[in-house]
Amino acid sequence: MSKTIVIGISDLNIATNGDVLVTYALGSCVGICLYDPVSKIAGLSHIMLPTIKDFKDPNAQKEKYADTAIEILLNKMLAAGALRIRIRAKIAGGAQMFAPVNNTSLAGIGERNIIAVKNELARLKIPITAEDTGKNYGRTLFLDSNDGSMKIKSVNKGEWVY
């Protein structure tokens, strides 16, 4: 019987054997789904900020940032038996949840997160096969390790599958 593995904010994990990864509260954060269709290894990361380079804390949680978390997730999948050449990505989130506030560090953070995720996936040569990003509403994301499907649920918008 499959189980559900919850991924928190600034967290990541992998799933196999039909298990489902889920992350809640994707507002300006971005969920990155990686999937190898042959080994059926799925990985999900919930990033909060675009780059660790903006922070000088040597103890910063690397799973929080697009430019470090995606590579950690990829390596975890490779260690479990996925092959890099087969891995594909799907992404969701990066919403503009609140009216922009002049010159705050969080102004446009959703869009900056989306750009950082896409740049990191391009750097790692992982193609994006589906995305549900931007707009102005939160999302819950489910990633099924059986088939790599990404299901999105939104309180006011319903649900759909990629």
Q: Is 23 within 8 Å of 33 (Cβ atoms)?
A: no
DSSP E strand boundaries for 8-156: 11-15, 20-26, 30-36, 41-47, 88-93, 128-133, 139-144, 150-154
Q: Which residues contact 115 (CB under 8 A, 6 or more apart)?
A: 50
User: From edge to edge, which strands make up the β-sheet containing 128-133?
Assistant: 11-15, 41-47, 30-36, 88-93, 128-133
Torsion of Cα atoms, 7 then 162 then 47 then 85, to 10°: 100
Residues carrying an active site annotation: 29
